[in-house]
Amino acid sequence: MNIQQLRIVREAIRHRFNLTEVGKALFTSQSGVSKSLKDLEDELGVELFERSGKRLVGLSPAGQATQEVVQRILLDIQSLQKIAAQYAQSAKGNLVLATTHAQARYALPNYLKRFALDFPDVHLTLHQASPDEISQLLLEGGADIGIATEGLHQAEGLVTFPWYEWQHAIVAHKDHPIMQRQHITLHDLAEFPLITYHAGLTGRSRVDSAFQRAEVEPDIVLTALDADVIKTYVELGLGVGILADMAFNPERDQSLAMVKAGYLFGTNTTRLALRRDHVLRDFAYEFIARLAPELNRDTIRSQQQSAAPLLFQATA
């Protein structure tokens, strides 16, 4: 039994048992993948996969029972490598962040710039993804730190920490009728076409909940992944925007006006997320401390102690 065989098992599950895709992911041939899996099954004395002819179609009961162990072994190997690297070169390595567009565009640039200057030997990788994708990357070891407003605190196997709070804002042309209202209400907003975030992104759940509680039906005509797209269509006159207040820049968005709307939609909390059993390098703890000075290594590790079982999720 070797590490490559375990990686092949993991990739076979991730790629829905398509061995051609497994070979591409691991830079090896399909025949090599098939032989490695057969050798592993022969060594274990059980079949891990169900087959239709030569084609894999799913996990056998034995495969289902062992997938969590395979995942844990591979994650432990990754942790072992990071521990070794920590002692070999404490300020050199890779730091992978997974975050949403709003955080990547508005909250993180200055932090990333300063960190890159102070740690020139750390290779920073930034994945822009949805909250669900961020959770998946963290759980599979594809990212060290996740940052988002929605969803992360609900994912099993992750531990999260509050970073900062923000509110939604109402954005429209300066001469738009909504901007003439002294105190904008949900009923006022429902009179106009609205443009806001996709469901599950950037506090959209709070927007929906506010309208539902008030029993007001909003006319949402366009949804977008990021605030720049929302502002573009607001500028074209297609509707009133509801977006994160940090996305409005008076100097850049001179044709638009903004009214903070925390009194309508409440306060949102952007959170940092880590896999519970993930070992971080010193520079990763330093990066987190720059975002949230109250989070030191001891605080983080104490929250990571109770590990939850991690299972594979096949990719679509």
pLDDT in tens, 87-127: 555 668 899 999 999 999 999 999 999 999 999 999 999 99
Distance CA 112, CA 122 (A): 11
7, part of any domain: yes
| Type of residue numbered 281 | R
Task: Report in angstroms the alpha-carbon separations of 218 from 195, 200, 230, 253.
Answer: 10, 17, 16, 25
Q: Could you list the beta-strand ranges (E) of the chain.
A: 49-52, 55-59, 93-99, 122-128, 145-148, 158-173, 193-197, 219-224, 240-244, 256-260, 267-275
HEC per residue, 52-71: ECCEEEEECHHHHHHHHHHH
311, part of any domain: no
Measuring CA to CA, which residue among 98, 62, 259 is closest to residue 168? 259
pLDDT at 152: 85
User: Which of 63, 83, 103 is the C-terminal boundary of a domain?
Assistant: 83
Mean pLDDT of 56-74: 84
Distance of CA 245 to the CA centre of its chain: 21
Measuring CA to CA, which residue among 231, 220, 223 is closest to residue 194? 220
Confidence of residue 207 (pLDDT cuts 50, 70, 90): very high
Q: Let me know whether 226 and 262 are in one domain.
A: yes
Q: Let me know whether 203 and 276 are in one domain.
A: no
Asked if residue 264 has pLDDT above 90, the reply is yes
Confidence of residue 189 (pLDDT cuts 50, 70, 90): very high
309, part of any domain: no
Range of the domain at 46: 3-83
Q: Let me know whether 152 and 214 are in one domain.
A: no
Q: Let me know whether 213 and 74 are in one domain.
A: no
Task: Report in angstroms the alpha-carbon separations of 49 from 53, 56, 62.
Answer: 12, 6, 8
Q: Let me know whether 178 and 154 are in one domain.
A: no
Q: Which two tokens stand for residue 37?
A: 């899996």
Which residues is 52 bridged to in the sheet? 55
CB 276 within 8 A of CB 157: yes
What does the pLDDT look like over 135-154, one tens digit per residue?
A: 999 988 899 999 999 888 77
Torsion of CA 191, 194, 198, 200, to 10 degrees: -40
Q: Let me know whether 171 and 253 are in one domain.
A: yes
Higher pLDDT, 15 or 242: 242
Q: Let me know whether 245 and 285 are in one domain.
A: no
| Residues 6 or more apart in contact with residue 228 via CB below 8 angstroms | 105, 247
What does the pLDDT look like over 167-178, one tens digit per residue?
A: 999 999 999 999
CATH number of the domain bearing residue 195: 3.40.190.10
Higher pLDDT, 313 or 110: 110
Q: Let me know whether 21 and 106 are in one domain.
A: no
DSSP state of 226: S
DSSP state of 183: S
DSSP state of 274: E
pTM of the model: 0.68
User: Which of 268, 290, 311 is the C-terminal boundary of a domain?
Assistant: 268
127, part of any domain: yes
Length of the chain in terms of residues written? 316
Q: Let me know whether 70 and 50 are in one domain.
A: yes
CATH number of the domain bearing residue 19: 1.10.10.10
What does the pLDDT look like over 18-41, one tens digit per residue?
A: 888 888 888 777 777 788 888 888
Distance CA 103, CA 127 (A): 11
Q: Let me know whether 288 and 219 are in one domain.
A: no
313, part of any domain: no
CB 106 within 8 A of CB 141: no
200, part of any domain: yes
Q: Let me know whether 154 and 169 are in one domain.
A: no
CB 146 within 8 A of CB 288: no
Distance CA 19, CA 10 (A): 12
Average pLDDT in the chain: 87
Higher pLDDT, 79 or 104: 104
Q: Let me know whether 128 and 251 are in one domain.
A: no
* Structural domains of the chain, count: 3
Percent of the chain at pLDDT above 90? Answer: 51
